[in-house]
Amino acid sequence: MTIGRPAARAASIVPDPPWKASLLVALLLIGACIGAGIPSGAELAKTLPTTVGELTFAPRDLTGIMSGTTADDAIIALGKDRDDASIAGGSATNGEMDIVAVAVKGISGPALAAAVATNWPAMTPDEVVTIGEKSVQVLVGPAPERAYVYRQGVVVYVVSAADERLATAAIEALP
């Protein structure tokens, strides 16, 4: 009896199924999209209008500047923290309207929009309306305040105002 190395195995002659390569590519693309970077707070600030009707805004990057923003509840509800988010915002100089933009690493736009709509402080989701060609979730709160949630890609915009005409103009000015 001779002790030696085991015989080499023959190479498999069964080819991989044709869908295997497509599945791998799809999984890689999904992973890239989920892990893809989000716009910075400074980039988000550049997407916000500086004027709406007669109102003037000074949009700014709020990422890392302050906690306790209205977006924090939505971020926490998604199991994330402020370090995972980019936030920008601006308030009208007369206080009649606020505009916020938020994006969260690893969270899709639809999931973030849903979290914002259900976790925006003192607001309750109401109807979905179309403004221009944009689908907008209306949130109602203490009269006459309303908030309007609009999503563009992974970014969610929230316009808070009592004046529906000005809120509509602000949403139309967003990307």
CA distance 110 to 150: 10
What pLDDT was estimated at residue 69?
67
In the block, residue with structure tokens 């949130």? 139
- Return the beta strands (E) in the chain as ranges: 51-52, 55-56, 60-61, 85-91, 97-104, 124-131, 134-140, 146-152, 155-161
The whole-number pLDDT of residue 39 equals 97
Instruction: Say which residue the tokens 């915009």 belong to.
Output: 157
The pLDDT confidence band at residue 26, using thresholds 50, 70 and 90, is: very low
Q: For position 144, what pLDDT does the model report?
A: 81
CA angle 12, 14, 17 (to 5 degrees): 130
Alpha helices (H) along 6-71: 19-35, 41-47
Question: Which residues does residue 171 pair with via DSSP β-bridges, in sequence order?
Answer: none
pLDDT number for residue 21: 42
Give tens-digit pLDDT for 111-127.
Answer: 999 999 999 988 999 99
Rounded percentage of the chain residues whose pLDDT exceeds 70: 77
